[in-house]
Amino acid sequence: METPKIDLYLGTIHEVKDRLTYEVTVDIPGVAKEVRAYPYSRGEMDEPVAGNLVYLLSVDPVYHSFYLYTKAKENDFIGIRSNGKVIDIKPDSLTIGVYDTSSTSKDDTRPDPSKSFLKMDESGNIEINATGNEKVTISGNAEISISGDANIKVSGTTNIDGATLNINSGTINMNSKVPSPGSGPLNCIPNCIFSGSPHGSNTA
């Protein structure tokens, strides 16, 4: 017999159907609207109100016909941790990271911001923080499209190794010191040795 799958959602109460049993309908963003849900534990719950944030357990993920719910707080979160790793699910964001296993505080179910983590929010923002080394290996081609600006800041040396380097730009600004006298493809002698005229500027 196949083990039943249980899905967990975060939703908002649309309407209170029964104030005695606390039966409600809930809107689940991106999934469904006005699904019927019943309290997971009515005795430990305040009376539900339309607009309340709730966690939903779907015990019938195929037809989505039966849900259990419990109320959530605005700043509440779902923390899933295992072997030093944690998944933090909030109403507006999802963070995957690590926590300090040496502490017994319940707050350690939240990712440690001083360690590596990946965070995504409902606005489409993605933040990646690597406190160690990072390596990306791509067997095929790679393409990066950026609608806005891009800034790359490197404290050490930047190396680009490729068969051919093509740069297509209207203007190239270079604000760096270059060794003189120069050798190779760039002429690093600042002035012409015959006329004394400057060879160029920081704009090409």
Look at strands 32-39 and 67-71 and give their pairing.
parallel
Instruction: Give pLDDT < 50 ranges for the chain.
Output: 182-184, 203
Query: For residue 149, what pLDDT is reported?
Result: 93
Predicted local distance difference test score (pLDDT) of residue 175:
73
Please state, in angstroms and rounded to a whole number, the distance separating the CA atoms of residues 94 and 71: 19
C-alpha distances in angstroms, 81 versus 76, 78, 98, 100, 190?
Answer: 16, 10, 8, 11, 60
Query: What digits encode the pLDDT tens for the residues 119-164?
Result: 999 899 999 999 889 999 999 999 999 999 999 999 999 999 989 9
Residue 2 gets which letter from DSSP?
Answer: P
Query: Residue 179: what pLDDT?
Result: 56
Structural domains of the chain, ranges and CATH numbers in brackets: 7-71 (2.40.50.260), 78-129 (no CATH)
How many Cβ atoms are within 10 Å of 69's Cβ, its own excluded?
A: 25
